[in-house]
A and B are shown apart, each in its own frame.
Chain A
Amino acid sequence: MIEFGLVITCVFFGLCGVSLATIFSLIPGLHIYSILGFVVLFWLENVFLNPLIFAAFTVSMLIGYCLGSSISAVYFQTPDDSSVFLVFPSQKYLDEGRGYEAVYLTGLGAVVGAFIACMLIIFAGAFLTMLVDLLVVHSFWIIATAMLFVWMSEWPKDPARQKTRLGKLGAAWVQLSMGLFVIVAAGILGIYLFFSQLVPPERSFQGLAAAFVGLFAFPSLIQNLFSAKKDIPKQNLGESIELNRGEFAQGTAAGVIGGSIGMLIPSLTAGVGNTFARHAVAQSGDRSFMFSQGVSRSIYYIGAVLLLFIPGVLIRRGGASLFITMFYIPETQGELLVIASTVLISAVFGWFIFNLLAKLFTKTIHRINTRYIAIFGIIVMLSLTYWMLGPAGLFILAIGTAIGFIPLVFNTRRIHCIAVITIPIMISMAGLTFVFSQFFGIA
């Protein structure tokens, strides 16, 4: 029996979590897992509250991140692993002065996604558990096929610029080869991260943070820093987002499919899931696309945590679940309902904060030099990485940045960088850890 006082405390911490995360997520490049790492350390050393409160705080921070990072992803073009596809269409909107629409659509999608995630886990928990059992034995080839599909489904963008047939073929393959190069390079980085100890052992729970910042966020920050573009055009605070029923339905369907793939299959993120989802629902149109990105990110992040709360089973997906299981393992339906309630209340509360911030940025963004924001983001990320992981963290971040830079300069997909987790997990599932460790000299 969960006491009413504990429920109220969870909701209170939830509101604090969503507020803080929405604001922190405005810092370009800052991933919520980096912040949560510090929360974990603080909680371990200073706080002796019920672990359910930590879970409520964590899941609310994820909602805040889904909302707040859509502002920074659109206005500062700093995606994470789940929002890489969002940047291109939103950049177009930004150039046309419609950044607010892009932010609003993604944020709205995030709130809808949080609601769907709660409903899915509460009412379809038993089915999802069966689905996870079914999928887990096939994870190896699902992940392998997903990576192959992500690579194969990329269309060559450069051939039209070449005059000769051979030139066109070469131009097409330069881009595709670079995609493969990124997959291999990120995979090797992942092998070293997973199968050896690069960071101080006592900070292992944050071992992937530096790589993720380097692969996904840092290249954009550096690009913003050095690109000639200094000013963002004045943004229009539109009164309507013009999302019709068809686009809403298509966006929701794509988001649910993409987010669910990320939520259910280990190591696949919403970014990879979205690649499938777009094909599955034959998605077209920017508005539906941006809305679906918000939905899928919410389902991916929040749904993965809620999976942990399904009573009677232990399904651990995503970094936030890992943080929660460092404190305790949820067991009862009551805990699931408390966390789901916290999610819903936090999502509504976060929406208001998000709206205020989105309007504030829309009105002022054209006056801000994005270079200063990029510098600020770089300083914050470097400081946090050094604080958490020491010089080794900065070293990993630098290598991740070099790999993450390839997609930018060769016009290939950034989602290839996700090989940093998919490849080592596939190797581990195939029972080849020792063979690869030996090959890479770390056995």
Chain B
Amino acid sequence: MKKQAKSTSVQKKETRPGYCPKCGAYVGAFYSCSWCHSKMPHGTRLRITQFASIIAVIAGLISLSLYARIDPAPHVNIGDINQTYSNGTVTIKGEIVNIDYIVPSDESWKILIFTVEDKTGSIDVKAYTETTDELIEERNTPALGDDCTVRGSVFVRGDELYILLESTEYLTIKRPIDFTLNSTDLYALYENNTSDYIGKRVKVNGTVSWVDTDNSYFDLDNVVRIFYPEYVRKFSPNVIISVIVGDIVEVIGLIDEYYGTLEVLPGSMHDVEIISHGGVV
């Protein structure tokens, strides 16, 4: 009886999948038994499954690659972005309405935050040290009034919602010029219709009539003040205003008003071009 029971047990073990039909050892998902080297009945099926799996992975990744290329970062309205967009990769388009550039005194880290606004809402875009350094190096720093396209990842931290700019390649800035004038014509236009021109970008030329000792602004023909916003000076800490009284310059900047004074705010130090040196010290 005992012998018969043992034989039945072995028989049962032999028929179980994954066990060697000859010696009864557990083989699992291998082609042959490690004890008696006999081939397993599931060997062919296993090989087919293995081959099919590899093909499926390769085909899957190729099709994924094609699918991802269609629209890797879809354009979204800023107003639509909410918490559920967290970690999403999106593209936004809009106008830059605010810029903060934070650098500690030892310059160990940098954060550039600029606010982009479209018709549906506004959102902050952040760039950390390396990206900011590259933006400055490539002279691709944002300025107030710029039209920009930003691609980045959406981050949510409580009430704070922002887009992280991971590469300079993902920021496209357009600085369209609305009109070109000399300083006196610009002043005349401004005096007639102040509010219509605030926020427009102008290419203005004129003769330098005054240079501030702190190097934060200079005047053109005593009617237009060229003022370097703080972020522009921080972006180029080593670049000083090299104009002197009498120089003829051309400046691209945003029209603004400061306590009744007409100002033009350049987007970067490089937006000021000296046409000719003709001044006296």
Residues of A293-325 contacting chain B, CB below 8 A = 314, 322, 325
Give Cα distance in the complex from A163 to B33, angstroms.
Answer: 11
B37 near A204 with CB under 8 A, answer no
Q: Is A349 an interface residue (CB 8 A)?
A: no
Residues of B61-87 contacting chain A, CB below 8 A = 61, 63-65, 67-69, 71-74, 76, 80, 82-87
Q: Is B194 an interface residue (CB 8 A)?
A: no
B85 near A202 with CB under 8 A, answer yes
Q: Is B167 an interface residue (CB 8 A)?
A: yes
Residues of B133-177 contacting chain A, CB below 8 A = 154, 156-159, 166-167, 169-170
Q: Is A5 an interface residue (CB 8 A)?
A: no
Give Cα distance in the complex from A329 to B54, angstroms.
Answer: 44
Secondary structure type dominating chain B contacts: mixed
Segment among B23-31, B206-214, B244-252, B267-275 that sits at the interface with chain A? B23-31
B89 near A197 with CB under 8 A, answer yes
Most buried by A among B57, B130, B169: B57
Q: Is A130 an interface residue (CB 8 A)?
A: no
Segment among A135-143, A184-192, A243-251, A280-288 that sits at the interface with chain B? A184-192
Give Cα distance in the complex from A428 to B166, angstroms.
Answer: 8
Total CB contacts across the A-B interface at under 8 A: 141
**Chain A 174-199 interface mask (CB, 8 Å, partner B; 1/0):** 00000001000100110010111110
Segment among B45-53, B105-113, B234-242 that sits at the interface with chain A? B45-53
B68 near A192 with CB under 8 A, answer yes
A197 near B65 with CB under 8 A, answer no
**Total B residues in contact with A, Cβ cutoff 8 Å:** 49
**Which residue of the partner chain, among B28, B49, B69, contacts A442 with CB atoms under 8 Å?**
B69
Write out the residue numbers on chain B whose beta carbons fall within 8 Å of the beta carbon of A198.
64, 67-68
Q: Is B279 an interface residue (CB 8 A)?
A: no
Give Cα distance in the complex from A314 to B63, angstroms.
Answer: 39
A109 to chain B, nearest CB (A): 27
Q: Is A372 an interface residue (CB 8 A)?
A: no
Q: Is B56 an interface residue (CB 8 A)?
A: yes
B80 to chain A, nearest CB (A): 7
A409 near B46 with CB under 8 A, answer yes
**Which residue of the partner chain, among A204, A405, A434, contacts B88 with CB atoms under 8 Å?**
A204
**Which residue of the partner chain, among A195, A408, A409, contacts B72 with CB atoms under 8 Å?**
A195
Residues of B85-103 contacting chain A, CB below 8 A = 85-90
Q: Is B32 an interface residue (CB 8 A)?
A: yes
B53 near A409 with CB under 8 A, answer yes
Give Cα distance in the complex from A189 to B63, angstroms.
Answer: 11
Write out the residue numbers on chain B whose beta carbons fall within 8 Å of the beta carbon of A399.
57, 60-61, 63-64
B156 near A189 with CB under 8 A, answer no
**Total A residues in contact with B, Cβ cutoff 8 Å:** 56
Residue of A nearest to B56 (CB): A402
Give Cα distance in the complex from A188 to B82, angstroms.
Answer: 28
Secondary structure type dominating chain A contacts: helix
> With A205-B85, A442-B68 as given contacts, are A409 and B61 in contact (CB-CB < 8 Å)?
no
Q: Is B278 an interface residue (CB 8 A)?
A: no
A24 to chain B, nearest CB (A): 21
A201 near B85 with CB under 8 A, answer yes
A325 near B156 with CB under 8 A, answer yes
B57 near A204 with CB under 8 A, answer no
B84 near A329 with CB under 8 A, answer no
B53 near A406 with CB under 8 A, answer yes
Give Cα distance in the complex from A440 to B60, angstroms.
Answer: 15
A197 near B88 with CB under 8 A, answer yes
**Chain A 139-177 interface mask (CB, 8 Å, partner B; 1/0):** 000000000000000000110110100000000000000
**Which residue of the partner chain, among B61, B157, B170, contacts A325 with CB atoms under 8 Å?**
B157
B73 near A197 with CB under 8 A, answer yes
B60 near A41 with CB under 8 A, answer no
B31 near A197 with CB under 8 A, answer no
A405 near B53 with CB under 8 A, answer yes
Give Cα distance in the complex from A202 to B86, angstroms.
Answer: 8
Give Cα distance in the complex from A434 to B130, angstroms.
Answer: 13
> With A201-B85, A205-B87, A406-B54 as given contacts, are A196 and B72 in contact (CB-CB < 8 Å)?
yes
Residues of B18-45 contacting chain A, CB below 8 A = 28-34, 37
**Chain A 196-219 interface mask (CB, 8 Å, partner B; 1/0):** 111001111101000000000000
B29 near A409 with CB under 8 A, answer yes
Write out the residue numbers on chain B whose beta carbons fall within 8 Å of the beta carbon of A41.
84
Write out the residue numbers on chain B whose beta carbons fall within 8 Å of the beta carbon of A396.
64
B163 to chain A, nearest CB (A): 12
Given contacts A188-B64, A205-B83, A325-B156, 5 further A-B contacts (CB under 8 A): A44-B83, A160-B34, A185-B57, A202-B85, A402-B57
15 A-B pairs within 8 Å (CB atoms) are namely: A161-B30, A196-B73, A197-B71, A197-B72, A202-B88, A205-B87, A326-B86, A328-B159, A392-B67, A395-B64, A399-B61, A403-B60, A405-B56, A409-B50, A434-B167
Q: Which residues of B contact A (CB under 8 A)?
A: 17, 28-34, 37, 46, 49-50, 53-54, 56-57, 60-61, 63-65, 67-69, 71-74, 76, 80, 82-90, 130, 154, 156-159, 166-167, 169-170
CB-CB nearest 7 A-B residue pairs: A204-B88, A196-B72, A434-B167, A399-B60, A442-B72, A402-B56, A329-B158
